[in-house]
């Protein structure tokens, strides 16, 4: 039955005028290696959401689930390490957008949002003189070369007050990067899912909804297909001696109400799932069940607090 119904599903977007789809795709199978166990987070996939395999210069760099009616992303999923493509990283001006959200026949690559307007997604002009930053979900600083440049697409951005954006980088993103490096040092990979939740009452240009909460969850574990891993085929780099060693899988999560004075808090992945009212963010990861979450939380506290000195 499954296979018989497939051709119908593939035709559906063409039959319904105005339906939104594109590299914008039906399911994430083409770029599933960005998810732990190749399984997307469960319980996020409701109405008016499009799936994007984020493609830039002929490589997939990460994955986004996007809310078209609020013109902001639910989450982006990515990995560390995973540098695809070449050249030094640079921030494009203006930022990119996803042409296939508006036109399924458009280019499958993210493109400059200059001179573009859209009924289904944010474009650079929506943020101009708004007083809000284009806050990255997948951070620019976590990667190198084209993979870093590809993070500067508006489908990976939520409006954030500047000071809150800066504090989120300090309180959460920099800690995630440290943990990802510790993880990589043990020969493992870090799968990260970063998202936004809960709307405020503010909309930029009466279009782009400002979310109330930013959150991120990470899982350090081994690749499910180490010999055929698109992220690891090229450019494997080492992390140097200045990090603690920790030879186990682990998970962790952070969230912040995006007000400058509100501190980011660390929580377990299970606690985050409960607050978001979703299913599993990771298919299987140490620290995400009632049996191992307390021990893992303590271990991660130790890793975060260990000075980068020995």
Ligand X SMILES: *[C@@H]1O[C@H](CO)[C@@H](O)[C@H](O)[C@H]1NC(C)=O
DSSP-assigned beta bridge partners for residue 253:
217, 267
**Any idea which residue has 């503010």 for tokens?**
202
The secondary structure of residue 153, as a DSSP letter, is B
Rule CB under 6 A: choose which of 30, 114, 116, 200 binds ligand X.
114
Is 229 an interacting residue with respect to ligand X (CB under 6 A)? no
Minimum gap (Å) between residue 144 Cβ and ligand X: 4
Rule CB under 6 A: choose which of 45, 275, 292, 299 binds ligand X.
275
> Largest Cα–Cα distance in the chain?
62
DSSP-assigned beta bridge partners for residue 256:
214
Binding segment for ligand X among 112-120, 122-130, 238-246, 299-307 (CB under 6 A)?
Answer: 112-120
Nearer to ligand X, 100 or 196 (CB): 196
CA distance 270 to 253: 9
Is 213 an interacting residue with respect to ligand X (CB under 6 A)? yes
CA distance 39 to 306: 32
- What would the two tokens of residue 40 be? 């997307």
Q: What number of chain residues touch ligand X (CB under 6 A)?
A: 17
Q: Which helix (H) or strand (E) holds 67?
A: strand 59-67
24 three-class SS:
strand
β-strand 72-80 against 189-204: which pairing, if any?
Answer: antiparallel
Binding mask 124-163 for ligand X (x = CB under 6 A): --------------------xx------------------
Binding mask 64-93 for ligand X (x = CB under 6 A): -------------------x--xx------
Residues that bind ligand X (CB under 6 A): 83, 86-87, 112, 114-115, 144-145, 197-198, 213, 215, 235, 237, 255, 275-276
């Amino acid at each position: 039955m499954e296979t018989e119904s497939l051709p119908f599903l593939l035709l559906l977007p063409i039959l319904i005028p105005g339906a939104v789809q594109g590299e914008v795709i039906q399911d994430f199978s083409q770029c599933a290696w960005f998810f732990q166990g190749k399984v997307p987070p469960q319980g996020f996939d409701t109405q008016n959401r499009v799936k994007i395999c984020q493609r830039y210069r002929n490589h997939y760099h990460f994955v986004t689930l996007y809310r078209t009616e609020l013109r902001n992303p639910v989450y982006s999923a990515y990995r560390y390490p995973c540098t695809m493509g070449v050249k030094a990283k640079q921030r494009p001006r203006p930022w990119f957008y996803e042409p296939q959200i508006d036109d399924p026949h458009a280019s499958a690559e993210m493109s400059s949002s200059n001179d573009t307007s859209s009924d289904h997604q944010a474009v650079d002009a929506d943020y101009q003189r708004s007083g809000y930053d284009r806050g990255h979900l997948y951070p620019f600083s976590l990667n190198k070369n084209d993979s870093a440049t590809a993070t500067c697409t508006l489908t990976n951005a939520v409006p954030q007050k500047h000071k809150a954006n800066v504090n989120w980088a300090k309180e959460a993103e920099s800690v995630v990067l440290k943990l990802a490096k510790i993880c990589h040092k043990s020969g493992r990979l870090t799968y990260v899912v970063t998202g936004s939740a809960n709307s405020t009452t503010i909309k930029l240009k009466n279009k782009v909804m400002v979310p109330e909460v930013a959150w991120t969850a990470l899982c350090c574990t081994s690749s499910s297909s180490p010999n055929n891993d698109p992220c690891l085929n090229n450019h494997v780099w080492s992390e140097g001696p200045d990090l603690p060693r920790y030879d186990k899988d682990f998970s962790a999560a952070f969230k912040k109400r995006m007000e400058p004075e509100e501190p980011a808090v660390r929580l377990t992945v299970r606690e985050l799932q409960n607050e978001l009212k979703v299913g599993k963010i990771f298919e299987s990861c140490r620290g995400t069940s009632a049996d191992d979450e307390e021990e893992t939380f303590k271990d991660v506290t130790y890793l975060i607090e260990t000075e980068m000195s020995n």
